[in-house]
Amino acid sequence: MARRTTFEAFFEAEHRQLFRSFVLITGDRQEADDVAQEAMVRILERWDRVERMEDPRAYLYRTALNLNRNRHRWTARRRSRSTDSRDVLPDAADAVATRVDVRRALEGLTSEQRIAVVLVDFLGFDSEGAGRVLDLNADAVRARVHRGRSALRERLTEDG
């Protein structure tokens, strides 16, 4: 039985991590902020239904990924014409190198690999749970995560 909670408590528990996930997925803090807000708005509008779900968190990420995909369709052309518009994250001096390296390495992954790695290795979904978010079976998720991790390490090694 799903545990009932308030939307406010759900927001408090999930919003920050949702935002940070999409910083990793999109590489753009503004875009991540937009997606996180819109996803939470949709959840709020459907809260009476979402709160009864077995896994509201999976539904949240599924909603956010769909929104991001739709946004990307509209903005892809504009972005391809512009120079890199992704903003620079505020850095503490000693963390800059690692942060930029990881972000650059993530950009080298395919979108599917990046999302799978973030769901499993950042957010802690197991393969079955990530599969429910992505509408994939667990084996397909494992394959994406495996390839994503390998590509990530390879790129970090190259950069290092």
Give residues in contact with other proteins (CB under 8 A). Answer: 8, 11-12, 15-16, 19-20, 23-24, 29, 32-33, 36-38, 40-41, 44-46, 48, 89-90, 92, 95, 98-99, 102-103, 106, 117-118, 120-122, 124, 135, 149, 152, 156
Distance between CA 21 and CA 114 in Å, rounded? 10
Question: Least distance to other proteins from the beta carbon of 156, Å?
Answer: 8
Provide, rounded to whole angstroms, the least separation between the CB of residue 6 and other proteins: 11
Q: Which residue reads 């459907």 in tokens? A: 46
What distance in Å separates the CA atoms of residue 117 and residue 87, rounded to the nearest whole number?
22
Of the pair 72, 149, the CB lying nearest other proteins is at 149
Q: What angle (nearest 5°) sits at the alpha carbon of residue 26, between those of residues 21 and 30?
A: 90
CA dist., res. 147 & res. 70, Å (int): 25
Q: Least distance in Å: CB of 147 to other proteins?
A: 13
